[in-house]
Each structure stands twice: as structure tokens, then as C-alpha cells.
Amino acid sequence: MDLHQDRIAGIRVVRGAPCGATWEVAERLKGTPLGDAAIRAGLETQYFCKANPAGWDPIYGKSPVHFAGEIHSKALKKALTFATGRHRTERGPGGR
């Protein structure tokens, strides 16, 4: 992930959803403020996801579209911690 002035400048997708929503979302997040990025990633994923929204999962109680949105949002949060360098300081000295 590339950042510029507290905004997303670019995202390189390492592994994405089979439907292709991940790559579309990565493009649409360019220019997004860092504070809004995780929420927007989840919403954009739900819009572009090709899964059947009526197919509710009986275990999680969510549609695949909502589940995909949560997964993408969490992945973006994790990528942001690495891109901003916060992963080094959150664990204490030596990264432990």
C-alpha cells in the first residue's frame, strides 16, 4: 500500500476474492483518507461482490456479501498498520 499525505495513493492486491471485487475496490480507494478507508473498503466490497446476497450463512447469520465486506475491511486495517509502520511499535521493543 502506498500512502501520500494521510491518503491512500495505491494498493497492490496480493490475494483477492474470486469475483474480482478486491481489485475494483483497490482502485476505488485511491485518494481515500486513512480514517475512512476500512469502512469504505467494506461498503465498496459489498457493492461489487458477485455473491448471492440472499444466501444467508446459518452459522454466522450473515449473507456472503456482508461477510466479504467484513473480510476486506479487516484486511485493509491490517495493511494500514504495516503501511503506517504501527506494527513495529504496537508490540513493544523488538517487535515482541
Question: How far apart, in whole angstroms, are the C-alpha atoms of residue 87 and residue 73?
Answer: 17
Residue 92, pLDDT above cutoff 50: no
C-alpha distances (whole Å) from 72 to each of 21, 34, 54, 62, 93 are 10, 15, 20, 15, 30
pLDDT in tens, 44-87: 999 999 888 888 888 888 889 998 999 999 999 999 999 988 75
pLDDT in tens, 10-27: 999 999 998 889 999 999
Average pLDDT for residues 27-43, to the nearest whole number? 96
Give the start-to-end residue ranges of the domains of the chain. 2-95
